[in-house]
């Protein structure tokens, strides 16, 4: 801690010395004309020892290396697109400006202007004619800034992670590209992007524990949404046949490599189709996004080659359990299924209904085998209160989940639009719930009674999708600021000069 305080004290002293030069260490702007990557591309063919005297560049970025050579300095300047070498000489800058540069440190943000040349060793370089300090860094970058490896520090101080680890920046650039690609794909398919409330009077659309807040003016509790489903279905009732929302949802539950309490979800609904059409949409969209990221429909995830080329296999939950766990659900009684769970040391958590037991066995005994893309369809009706019953098999629901690398990446149904059946399902669902969270959304049922067309809906966890597309092992690697436990930190006593 003392070492960090001393470094900061030294930088504060340099800050005052810079002010003594009558220079503003935090100016308002700088006339940037290009980025580093633009120059690297444009001058890729400039031969060693050559220069371009016809073009003056104005660059801005962070100093990430300083190599002193008497009356000259070679430095590395990094902007949002990459890094480039800059060359500062006293005979070009003048003695006063060169002495001012001596007050700068690694981490400072700098604007430079000058001519481009390529050194005899082949390094594209800016011969700096003028520079301007744009922000004095009062804290030193981590000692091994070029490889910040402390996982917790990376997540808590993502700004340092982005500075120090170029691969992290590339991961988030891919995330942005994936989300943009989703919008392009759905817009092309004729879907309308909409916005629905983030605060709900009644939590609904999924089974999860909500975050609770309070609205002072309305004098009532509200809940951060756990899913946008019920509001998006209201829009189907209103006559919007293809809608989607790509935004945040919140679930007051566990944190793991696959779960964050605040997460990004895509939900979409299409009238006049069923869950078979949604399967086709999912495999087509995933293949499209993979091509955008990799140029092919294959991707390497954690050392495994994943082939996203459509069509993907379709297996019912019953078929998957028979294939991977050797369990023929249809021939076993509920008691026999409970015995299997007990022998396999699977905690049923008090679940007694046949459908919930089957679902728990599937999650524990089958999902880890689903490495290549596959749709698992036809789930127990008890676990699917918003889905239509399977035609001719009412104990199952027309629901599917896409699995890749043993992980569920989404959820989709043929949507239940019978208001009487929906009320019965809601009533049965809340029998096991308590308090405010167990209320029925009467307005949603009222909307269904006006008539919702047959439809299919889909939800995709964007963070898990980005994990797959960027070969990231943890959800925290693809969220800029993941939720972490509060850390008890001894406050630094900072030496300041007044």
Q: Tens digit of pLDDT for each residue in 202-237?
A: 998 888 899 999 999 999 999 999 999 999 999 999
339 part of a folded domain: no
Measure the CA angle with vertex 141, ends 135 and 144; round to 5°: 150
Residue 314 in tokens? 């379709």
Q: Mark whether 81 and 217 lie in a shared domain.
A: no
Strand partners, 115: 56, 127
Q: Mark whether 173 and 71 lie in a shared domain.
A: no
Q: Mark whether 108 and 222 lie in a shared domain.
A: no
CA atoms of 242 and 338, how far apart (whole Å) = 42
Three-class DSSP category at 346: coil
Q: Mark whether 49 and 87 lie in a shared domain.
A: yes
User: Per-residue confidence at 486, pLDDT binned at 50, 70, 90?
Assistant: confident
Q: Quick one: pLDDT at residue 289?
A: 98
User: Per-residue confidence at 4, pLDDT binned at 50, 70, 90?
Assistant: confident
CA atoms of 334 and 351, how far apart (whole Å) = 11
On whether the CB atoms of residues 61 and 77 are closer than 8 A, the answer is yes
Average pLDDT over residues 159-182: 95
On whether the CB atoms of residues 106 and 134 are closer than 8 A, the answer is no
In the Cβ-directed half-sphere of 342, how many Cα atoms lie within 13 Å?
8
Q: Tens digit of pLDDT for each residue in 321-379?
A: 999 999 999 999 999 999 999 999 999 988 889 999 999 999 999 999 999 999 999 99
For residue 249, give the nearest of 424, 61, 455, 463 by alpha carbon: 463
What is the model's pTM? 0.91
Highest mean pLDDT among 176-180, 427-431, 484-488 belongs to 176-180
Three-class DSSP category at 403: strand
Three-class DSSP category at 378: strand
Average pLDDT over residues 455-475: 97
Residue 121 in tokens? 């060793």
Domain count, the chain: 2
- Strand duo 83-89 + 72-78: pairing: antiparallel
Average pLDDT value over all residues in the chain = 93
Q: What are phi and psi of 200, to 5 degrees?
A: -115, 145
Residue 233 in tokens? 């279905």
Q: Tens digit of pLDDT for each residue in 376-414?
A: 999 999 999 999 999 999 999 999 999 999 999 999 999
Average pLDDT over residues 59-67: 97
Burial label, 488 (beta-carbon count in 10 A; 0-12, 13-18, 19+):
exposed
First to last CA, the chain: 22
Q: Tens digit of pLDDT for each residue in 244-288?
A: 999 999 999 988 888 999 999 999 999 999 999 999 999 999 999
Q: Mark whether 135 and 184 lie in a shared domain.
A: no
355 part of a folded domain: no
pLDDT at 181 over 90: yes
Q: Quick one: pLDDT at residue 435?
A: 44
Q: Mark whether 182 and 125 lie in a shared domain.
A: no
Which string of DSSP letters, residue by residue, matches 161-214? HHHH-HHHHHHHHHHHHHHHHHHHHHHHTT-EE----SEESS--SS-SPPPEEE
Find the domain containing 47 and state its range: 2-140
Q: Quick one: pLDDT at residue 429?
A: 82
CA atoms of 121 and 119, how far apart (whole Å) = 5
Q: Mark whether 102 and 192 lie in a shared domain.
A: no
- Strand duo 83-89 + 124-135: pairing: parallel
pLDDT at 21 over 50: yes
What is the domain-level CATH number for residue 220?
3.30.930.10
Q: Quick one: pLDDT at residue 496?
A: 36
On whether the CB atoms of residues 233 and 257 are closer than 8 A, the answer is no
CA atoms of 398 and 379, how far apart (whole Å) = 7
Q: Quick one: pLDDT at residue 432?
A: 65
Q: In what order do the strands lie in the sheet with 212-215?
A: 199-200, 220-224, 212-215
On whether the CB atoms of residues 199 and 431 are closer than 8 A, the answer is no
What is the domain-level CATH number for residue 35?
2.40.50.140
**Cβ atoms within 10 A of the Cβ of 229, count?**
25
Q: Tens digit of pLDDT for each residue in 310-328?
A: 999 999 999 999 999 999 9
**Strand (E) or helix (H) holding 410:** strand 410-414
pLDDT at 489 over 70: no
Q: Mark whether 47 and 129 lie in a shared domain.
A: yes
On whether the CB atoms of residues 396 and 380 are closer than 8 A, the answer is yes
**Distances 443 to 222, 245, 365, 419 between C-alpha atoms, Å:** 16, 21, 39, 11
Question: What is the percentage of the chain residues whose pLDDT exceeds 90?
Answer: 85
Q: Mark whether 275 and 177 lie in a shared domain.
A: yes
Q: Mark whether 265 and 382 lie in a shared domain.
A: yes
CA atoms of 113 and 457, how far apart (whole Å) = 54
Measure the CA angle with vertex 343, ends 342 and 347; round to 5°: 35
**Distances 338 to 334, 335, 379 between C-alpha atoms, Å:** 6, 5, 18
On whether the CB atoms of residues 45 and 52 are closer than 8 A, the answer is no
Residue 135 in tokens? 């922000």
Q: Quick one: pLDDT at residue 2?
A: 65
53 part of a folded domain: yes
58 part of a folded domain: yes
For residue 16, give the nearest of 8, 3, 25 by alpha carbon: 25
User: Per-residue confidence at 1, pLDDT binned at 50, 70, 90?
Assistant: low
Q: Mark whether 245 and 104 lie in a shared domain.
A: no
**Strand (E) or helix (H) holding 332:** none
For residue 399, give the nearest of 378, 370, 419, 420 by alpha carbon: 378
Average pLDDT over residues 34-49: 96
202 part of a folded domain: yes
User: Per-residue confidence at 495, pLDDT binned at 50, 70, 90?
Assistant: very low
Strand partners, 396: 380
For residue 127, give the nearest of 66, 75, 79, 78 by alpha carbon: 75
Q: Quick one: pLDDT at residue 433?
A: 57
242 part of a folded domain: yes
Which string of DSSP letters, residue by residue, matches 232-282? HHHHHHTT--EEEEEEEEE--S--BTTB-SEEEEEEEEEET--HHHHHHHH
Q: Mark whether 175 and 308 lie in a shared domain.
A: yes
């Amino acid at each position: 801690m003392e070492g960090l305080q001393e470094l900061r004290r030294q930088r504060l002293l340099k800050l005052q010395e810079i002010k003594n030069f009558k220079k503003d260490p935090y100016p308002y702007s700088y006339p940037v004309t290009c980025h580093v990557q633009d120059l690297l591309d444009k001058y890729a063919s400039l031969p060693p020892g050559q220069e371009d005297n016809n073009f003056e560049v104005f660059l801005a970025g962070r100093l990430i290396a300083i190599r002193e050579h008497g009356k000259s300095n070679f430095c590395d300047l990094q902007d949002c697109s990459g890094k480039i070498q800059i060359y500062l000489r006293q005979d070009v800058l003048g003695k006063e400006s060169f002495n001012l540069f001596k007050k700068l440190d690694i981490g400072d943000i700098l604007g430079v202007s000058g001519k481009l040349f390529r050194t005899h060793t082949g390094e594209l370089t800016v011969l700096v004619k003028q520079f301007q300090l744009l922000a004095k860094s009062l804290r030193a970058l981590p000692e091994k800034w070029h490889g910040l490896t402390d996982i917790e520090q990376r997540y808590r101080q993502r700004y340092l992670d982005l500075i120090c680890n170029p691969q992290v920046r590339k991961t988030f650039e891919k995330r942005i590209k994936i989300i943009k690609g989703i919008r392009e794909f759905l817009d092309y398919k004729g879907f309308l992007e909409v916005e629905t409330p983030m605060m709900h009077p009644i939590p609904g659309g999924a089974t999860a524990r909500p975050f609770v807040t309070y609205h002072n003016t309305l004098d009532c509790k509200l809940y951060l949404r756990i899913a946008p489903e019920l509001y998006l279905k209201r829009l189907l009732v209103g006559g919007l046949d293809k809608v989607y929302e790509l935004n945040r949802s919140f679930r007051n539950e566990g944190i793991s490599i696959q779960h964050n309490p605040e997460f990004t979800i895509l939900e979409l609904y299409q009238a006049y189709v069923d869950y078979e059409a949604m399967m086709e949409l999912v495999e087509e969209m995933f293949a499209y996004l993979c091509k955008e990221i990799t140029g092919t429909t294959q991707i390497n995830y954690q050392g495994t080659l994943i082939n996203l080329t459509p069509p993907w296999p379709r297996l019912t939950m019953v078929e998957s359990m028979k294939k991977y766990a050797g369990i023929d659900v249809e021939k076993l009684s509920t008691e026999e299924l409970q015995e299997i769970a007990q022998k396999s040391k699977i905690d049923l958590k008090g679940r007694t209904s046949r459908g919930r037991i089957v679902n728990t066995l599937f999650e524990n005994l089958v999902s880890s085998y689903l490495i290549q893309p596959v749709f698992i369809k036809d789930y127990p009706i008890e676990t699917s209160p918003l889905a239509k019953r399977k035609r001719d098999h009412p104990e199952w629901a027309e629901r599917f989940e896409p699995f890749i690398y043993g992980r569920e990446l989404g959820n989709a149904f043929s949507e239940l639009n019978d208001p009487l059946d929906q009320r019965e399902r809601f009533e049965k669902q809340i029998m096991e719930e308590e308090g405010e969270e167990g209320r029925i959304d009467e307005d949603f049922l009222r909307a269904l009674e006006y008539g919702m067309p047959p439809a299919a809906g889909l939800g995709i966890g964007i963070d898990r999708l980005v994990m797959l597309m960027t070969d990231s092992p943890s959800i925290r690697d693809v969220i800029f600021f993941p939720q972490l436990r509060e850390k008890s930190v001894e406050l630094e006593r900072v030496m300041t000069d007044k």
